[in-house]
Amino acid sequence: MISSKTRIDGLAITLSFLCAMHCLFVPSFIILAPSFLAFSFDNELIHYLILVLSIPISLYALISGYKAHNNLSFLFTGFFGLSILLLAVIYGETIFGVLEEKSLTLLGSIIVVFSHFKNLNACRDLDCNCHNE
């Protein structure tokens, strides 16, 4: 049975993956799609929307994982990844440039996914009851 804790970590992983896919594939989509469709999909609003959704979900999953396992490494790693994502979205192209913004976004997404993956593995390895929360 899939628990709420597993779902939250899975949702956080999915949002980070979506962020990375948006960063990687939207430029190709812009080239292939008509200009009016491309504009609507490459809007900064999407960056903020993904970030606004992923931060509270990730924080909840990482903090509840820390409370269940007392392992600070996953918590700090996740915070670090989220900080990189936040930095990339807030300062983005204006300070870093397009390539650096995409690189920071991908790095932050990979770090967040890694921390949630390790959090899920810790639950499975310990066979803990944190999934019933």
DSSP letter (8 states) at residue 109: H
> Is the overall model pTM greater than 0.85, yes or no?
no
The tens place of each residue's pLDDT in the chain, 133 residues long, gives: 346 666 777 777 777 777 677 666 665 655 555 554 545 545 677 778 878 888 888 888 888 888 887 888 888 999 999 999 889 888 877 787 778 888 888 898 889 888 888 888 877 776 655 544 4
In-domain check, residue 112: yes
Q: Is 108 within 8 Å of 78 (Cβ atoms)? A: no
Q: How many CB atoms lie within 10 A of CB 83?
A: 13
Q: Give the distance between the most distant pair of CA atoms in the chain.
A: 51
The whole domain housing 11 covers: 4-127
In-domain check, residue 123: yes
In-domain check, residue 133: no
In-domain check, residue 132: no
